[in-house]
Amino acid sequence: MAFFHKFNFAVILLGLLQQFAQVNALVNQRTAAIDPKLAELDRFIRVSNPSDVDVQEEIKKLMLTISESRKGDQRKSLLGKWELIFTTEKEVNFFKTSWPFADVSCIIQDLDLYESQTINNSINFETGGRFVVTGTAKAVDGDSDFDRVEFKFTDAAIRAWDRTIKVPPVGAGWFDTMYCDDSYRLSRDVRGDWSVFRRQ
């Protein structure tokens, strides 16, 4: 019987290792298929501490290098859902690293500039709760070389334990799209914060 228990454990372990290898291969295939600088940026974000000032500066340098390859107005490419994978915004990083009540599972931004003209930000927690901020967004002319989007938040709520608690929405301003393709989006905003998103 002990032999069969060990054998079953070995089979389960082998299966888990194979699943891990398959997931890792898919990640490597995705990063290999994109621009080498974007692949480097993705790997750097995954293995580094994004709150480290030196790390932030290196990521900014990579973002600027990648932005040199952008072509034309990219704002129509912003349509859809994006997962925030890096930001210098202190308030967001507080939720990711220091929020005492629950760990953040993901942060999603949903954009539609030309039909509904909406922006929806959602901080999702592993416990199932969400902090959701919604508002308006539209393409506008800016004073930089990048494509500007103006936004204004109009509603905010905490959704947890089958309840919705309305809180005052805070925030209005703009962000510039430094680069956008089918997989990644790089931006910086009116407050000087830099962010990297991965398409959902």
For 161: left if phi > 0, alpha if psi spans -120 to 50, otherwise beta; the answer is left
Q: Which of 85, 76, 84 is nearest to 121 (CA)?
A: 84
The predicted structure's pLDDT at residue 169: 72
The gap from C-alpha 15 to its chain's centroid, in whole angstroms, comes to: 31
The predicted structure's pLDDT at residue 22: 53
| Structure confidence by residue, pLDDT tens digits, 113-163 | 999 999 999 999 988 889 999 999 999 998 888 999 999 999 999 988 888
DSSP, collapsed to helix, strand or coil, labels residue 109 as strand
Greater pLDDT, 93 or 58: 58
pLDDT at position 9 over 50: no
pLDDT at position 192 over 70: yes
pLDDT at position 82 over 80: yes
Percentage of the chain surpassing pLDDT 90? Answer: 60
The phi, psi pair for 17, rounded to 5°, reads -65, -40
Mean per-residue pLDDT of the chain: 84
The predicted structure's pLDDT at residue 10: 45
In this prediction, residue 91 has a pLDDT band, given cuts at 50, 70 and 90, of confident
The predicted structure's pLDDT at residue 19: 55
The predicted structure's pLDDT at residue 15: 53
Question: Do 22 and 29 touch, CB atoms closer than 8 A?
Answer: no
Mean pLDDT computed over 68-84: 93
Residue 192 neighbours by CB under 8 Å, 6+ apart: 88
